[in-house]
Amino acid sequence: IGIIIKGDSCAELKRFYIDTDYRGKGYGTRLFNKAIEFCRQHGMKKVEFETGKAFTQGHTFYINKGFKK
């Protein structure tokens, strides 16, 4: 997972992929939580991401974490 600082208080999550063998085991949630914690510790008030339209699992994951389309 990559984190790009886009401004004084905005970050973007990039390249957040979990191998199919490891999905559904909590690894993605743990990585995501660490990334959000990092952003908060560095003063980020807003976190953005982009996913392709076909990446429905990613959409569901982010929506379950409280993000909006």
- Interval 5-26: pLDDT, tens: 998 899 999 888 889 899 899 9
Residues forming a β-bridge with 4: 12
Distance of CA 59 to the CA centre of its chain: 10
Distance of CA 63 to the CA centre of its chain: 10
User: What would the pLDDT profile of 20-52 be if each residue is shown by its tens digit?
Assistant: 899 899 999 999 999 999 999 999 999 998 887
